[in-house]
Amino acid sequence: MKYFLNVIVLIAVLFCSQLSATEVHVSSISELQTAISAASAGDVLVLANGTYLNSTLYIGTNNITVRAATPGGVFLNGTNGIIIAGSAVTFSGFQFTSGSITGIVITVSGNNDTLTQLNFNGYSAQKYINLLGQYDVLSYSAFENKPTTAPIGNLIHVSPDATIPRYAKIRYCSFKNMPGAGGDNGNECIRISNGATSSYVCRTVVEFCYFENTGAGDSEVISVKCAQNVLRYNTMNNNMHGNFCFRFGDNNIAYSNFFLSSGGIRIKVANNIYCYNNYFQNCGDGSITAPVKYVYDSGVGVPHLGNVNIIHNTIVDGTSVEFDSHATGNTWANNIFKKSSGTIFTGGASGISWAGNIYQGALGLTIPSSMTNADPKLVVNADGYYGLSSGSPAIDAASAGYPAILHIAGIDDDPALAYDISGQSRPAAVTLKDVGCDEFNAAGPVTNRPLKIADVGPSYLGGPATGVPERPANSLQAGPSGFALHEAYPNPINPTTTIRYQIPAAAHVRLEIVDCVGRVAEIVADEMQQAGSHEIVWNAARYPSGVYFCRLQAGQGTATRKLAVIK
């Protein structure tokens, strides 16, 4: 299968931005609200360190920053209600550690907003954050110990729209220690939509998040209940009663996640699910979770468990994979199964096709072909999980007998399996790829490994130091093999600048001007281009002075540059 790299270049124009910015320091919530109402685009509003009770804020101004004087130095306790309606707002550095409300703490209805360096610990609310806008980002935040007496509700909720995809990102966050009754208790860490809006296209990405001991809050650690979402590069650790659940929504993806002594992936009332490059070790509680678990609901009244594709995963020990006889048109291809006791599978597998799998242990089912009984020769690698050794029969042994993997528009996913779980390059030819989630001795840097708590969450709680480079989603983000977005010149701009970039393969290039509410104002280029260096002149004469963002998205990676227009 030949892989073509699709490239989209976006320039996000924030019309209301101003080049001059003011830093305003305040020492009360009322002063902060006054400053927000009077702010101009680019202003930074700083709340003095301390504890503030019963805070209500409405942030309706575009392109401002509202932050604590020092990260984690401001505690917003008591009864809080914060609405972020402006676009390009950054809200940073606040803690919520004591208080009780019946509703939602933070509601985000603006676009391109960033919530970061937040900490919720022991705070009682139905929901902590509700994302309603487009291109909003929640990052480097921690969520822990929602009280059992709190109203039932998920911690983070993404609410989709019937016609406009959200493109939200939840990344580098930690979720730990959720008490409760477990099962379908209703306190999911993340819920994307709900059953009533399961047909809506959302395109949310949850990546580089860490989950530990959350299953007592709800067994669905991430509950996906709408279409076209991606769960990737996350780590579940010591989370045996929690799983990632695709429930009601179709056309969803999970890839390059680590499930360690945890639940795995549950597929319930869903179709067209693609799970690849995932690693499962000692997963499943034998009850509500398993490495992979099918759940059929006879009361739904619509077909489901159709076209489920489990490809290039590695499953070591744990409980049995649980099938259901209602599955239709499923494919399990190029997976490794290693089981020291018990059976690898249970349930009915009549609706499943098999290709290129390797197993060691007792199958538990009669599978006619495409299951090679051989020691996969796994060894613990430098990152602490089982990878391939030099003598493994999995090397260069993949089968091409699986359907094309779903690509979600506007998301830098990996439908060609160009990378393994660690971010290393896989061969372009399908039959030269290694079976399982890991390529042996692959070329390229390791950009993904099991997360630890120190890799995520706020810097003031031991998370990554602010300002350090983020771990890229894969090696393309770091610019290998000729992919790069260079600094525009001149910058500041009056009235034109040249945007220079490189692409490693022939690709379709689209250059758009987008306003601050996500509307396309101008299409500068929309064409196929050859591999190599390119430059495009952008004329900003039609646009007001302000701060702009140029973002290059290229299949497996993204790069962003800041621009400024002066007149």
Query: Which is higher by pLDDT, 516 or 312?
Result: 312
The pLDDT-based confidence of 371 (bands split at 50, 70, 90) is very high
Averaged pLDDT for residues 216-220: 96
At residue 3, the pLDDT reads: 31
* CA–CA gap between residue 170 and residue 154 (Å, rounded): 14
How far is residue 279 CA from its own chain's centroid? 17
Q: What is the mean pLDDT of the chain?
A: 88
Per-residue pLDDT of 288-331, as tens digits, reads 999 999 999 998 888 999 999 999 999 999 999 999 999 999 99
Query: Which is higher by pLDDT, 520 or 89?
Result: 89
At residue 475, the pLDDT reads: 33
Residue at 366 is within a domain: no
**Phi/psi at 16 (5° precision):** -85, 0
Query: Which is higher by pLDDT, 166 or 15?
Result: 166
User: Which tokens is 255 given?
Assistant: 């890839």
At residue 447, the pLDDT reads: 85
Residue at 48 is within a domain: no
* CA–CA gap between residue 394 and residue 376 (Å, rounded): 6
The amino acid at residue 433 is K
Give long-range contacts, CB 8 A cutoff, 24+ apart: 283-288.
283/240, 283/259, 283/315, 283/318, 283/319, 284/240, 284/318, 284/319, 284/320, 285/240, 285/241, 285/319, 286/319, 288/182, 288/183, 288/219, 288/241, 288/243, 288/263
N- to C-terminal Cα distance for the chain?
Answer: 50
- For the ranges 233-237, 242-246, 308-312, 366-370, which has the lowest average pLDDT? 366-370
Residue at 156 is within a domain: no
| pLDDT reading at 13 higher than 70 | no
Averaged pLDDT for residues 251-272: 97
Short-list 336, 240, 334, 345, CA closest to 292: 345
Short-list 470, 354, 472, CA closest to 414: 472
At residue 468, the pLDDT reads: 46
- For the ranges 163-172, 225-234, 404-413, 459-468, which has the lowest average pLDDT? 459-468
The pLDDT-based confidence of 15 (bands split at 50, 70, 90) is very low
| pLDDT reading at 77 higher than 90 | yes
162 contacts: CB under 8 Å, gap ≥ 6: 197, 200
At residue 56, the pLDDT reads: 97
Query: Which is higher by pLDDT, 4 or 380?
Result: 380
Domain of 553 in residue numbering reads as: 478-565
246 contacts: CB under 8 Å, gap ≥ 6: 224, 252, 254, 265, 266, 267, 268, 270, 273
Averaged pLDDT for residues 501-528: 65
Residue at 542 is within a domain: yes
Domain tally, the chain? 1
* CA–CA gap between residue 10 and residue 558 (Å, rounded): 10
User: Which tokens is 532 given?
Assistant: 């190599």
| pLDDT reading at 556 higher than 60 | no
Pick the most confident of 154-163, 363-372, 484-493: 154-163
Per-residue pLDDT of 146-193, as tens digits, reads 999 999 999 999 999 999 999 999 999 999 999 998 999 999 999 999
| pLDDT reading at 560 higher than 60 | yes
Per-residue pLDDT of 19-49, as tens digits, reads 456 899 999 999 999 999 999 988 999 999 9
Residue at 488 is within a domain: yes
User: Which tokens is 382 given?
Assistant: 């430098």
Contact 22, 45 (CB under 8 A): no
Averaged pLDDT for residues 476-489: 56
Averaged pLDDT for residues 239-254: 96
| pLDDT reading at 437 higher than 80 | yes
User: Which tokens is 467 given?
Assistant: 């300002």
CATH of the domain at 538: 2.60.40
| pLDDT reading at 519 higher than 80 | no
How do beta strands 119-121 and 220-224 pair? unpaired
At residue 550, the pLDDT reads: 72
At residue 466, the pLDDT reads: 60
460: left (phi over 0), alpha (psi -120 to 50) or beta: alpha
Averaged pLDDT for residues 50-62: 97
Contact 433, 402 (CB under 8 A): no
At residue 84, the pLDDT reads: 98
Q: What is the pTM of this model?
A: 0.84
How many other CB atoms are found less than 10 A from the CB of residue 98?
Answer: 15
Averaged pLDDT for residues 492-496: 82
Residue at 191 is within a domain: no
At residue 552, the pLDDT reads: 72
Residue at 517 is within a domain: yes
